[in-house]
């Protein structure tokens, strides 16, 4: 099933919240918000900040895709320092400007206590919303579940963006750890982990990986 762009909800940011200048795109970065499942609320929150940190798209827990600004434009979403480029042996370049960011609404890692699961703000999470990995990832084995609706909407959006900008859609095994090719600006699909060792979005959910491999 292809993306019906008429179903993307427009919850646009003020122009002071992003950079309204066209730029070529050769990478896609997948993030998760470390917050609740309401995609519209994410855009409204960004509209109240002053740091121009945002992504073009947010995918809610119900699968709703919210667009915050044109994918031709850009905002800060990676937070990579020049020293991190140097550490990878790559020349500095503004990857925020040449990539499209997608945020998936998700709480991220979970902690287990007495058989119950809690997110990082201490709220209990129902077992139906827990994904348990075979091995810990960045110190955590339990994670908030990416819903089927989110994964399908993310698939449709990634396919659309790859076609629109000519971005290769081959799955890269390295996307959950630092990847020099990401720093070099090599076209492709990446995660925030590809350029930030202190990040854990998105996590290696088997169902999300299966989707990315199917592209």
Tens of pLDDT, residues 49-79: 989 999 999 999 999 999 999 999 999 999 9
Instruction: Report residue 82's pLDDT band, with 50, 70 and 90 as the boundaries.
Output: very high
Q: Identify whether residues 40 and 114 lie together within a single domain.
A: no
Q: Identify whether residues 128 and 160 lie together within a single domain.
A: no
- Predicted pLDDT of residue 109: 98
Q: Identify whether residues 85 and 21 lie together within a single domain.
A: yes
How much of the chain, in percent, has pLDDT values that exceed 90?
A: 99
Instruction: Report residue 175's pLDDT band, with 50, 70 and 90 as the boundaries.
Output: very high
**Which of 90, 112, 211 lies closest to 158 in space, CA to CA?**
211
Model confidence at 46: pLDDT above 90: yes
β-pairing, 57-59 with 99-104? parallel
Tell me the average pLDDT of the chain: 97
Instruction: Tell me how many domains the chain contains.
Output: 2
Domain holding 140, by residue range, is 110-144
**Domain finish residue from 144, 169, 190:** 144
- Predicted pLDDT of residue 119: 97
How does 64-87 read in b/e, with b if 16+ C-beta sit within 10 Å?
Answer: bbbbbbebebbbbbbebeeebbee
Integer Cα distance of 127 and 53 in angstroms: 32
The pLDDT tens digits of the residues spanning 84-117 come to 999 999 999 999 999 999 999 999 999 999 999 9
The pLDDT tens digits of the residues spanning 11-28 come to 999 999 999 999 999 999
Q: How far apart are the first and last CA of the chain?
A: 12
The pLDDT tens digits of the residues spanning 177-212 come to 999 999 999 999 999 999 999 999 999 999 999 999
How much of the chain, in percent, has pLDDT values that exceed 70?
A: 100
Q: Identify whether residues 74 and 173 lie together within a single domain.
A: yes
Model confidence at 6: pLDDT above 90: yes
Integer Cα distance of 88 and 186 in angstroms: 14
- pTM: predicted TM-score of the whole model, two decimal places: 0.97
Q: Identify whether residues 20 and 53 lie together within a single domain.
A: yes
- Predicted pLDDT of residue 50: 87
Q: Are 127 and 55 within 8 A, CB to CB?
A: no
């Amino acid at each position: 099933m292809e993306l019906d762009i008429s179903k993307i909800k427009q919850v646009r940011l003020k122009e002071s919240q992003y950079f309204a200048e066209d730029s070529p795109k050769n990478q896609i970065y997948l993030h998760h918000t470390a917050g609740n499942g309401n995609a519209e609320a994410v855009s409204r929150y960004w509209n109240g900040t002053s740091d121009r940190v945002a992504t073009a798209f947010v995918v809610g827990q119900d699968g709703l895709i919210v667009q915050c600004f044109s994918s031709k434009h850009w905002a800060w979403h990676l937070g990579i320092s020049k020293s991190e480029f140097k550490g990878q042996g790559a020349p500095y370049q503004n990857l925020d400007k040449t990539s499209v960011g997608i945020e998936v609404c998700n709480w991220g890692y979970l902690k287990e206590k007495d058989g119950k699961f809690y997110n990082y703000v201490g709220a209990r999470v129902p077992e139906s919303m827990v994904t348990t990995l075979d091995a810990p990832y960045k110190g955590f084995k339990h994670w908030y579940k990416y819903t089927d609706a989110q994964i399908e909407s993310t698939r449709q959006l990634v396919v659309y963006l790859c076609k629109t900008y000519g971005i290769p859609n081959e799955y890269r095994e390295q996307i959950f750890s630092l990847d020099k090719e990401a720093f070099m600006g090599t076209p492709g699909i990446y995660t925030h982990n590809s350029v930030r060792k202190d990040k854990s979005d998105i996590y290696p959910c088997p169902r999300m990986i299966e989707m990315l491999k199917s592209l």
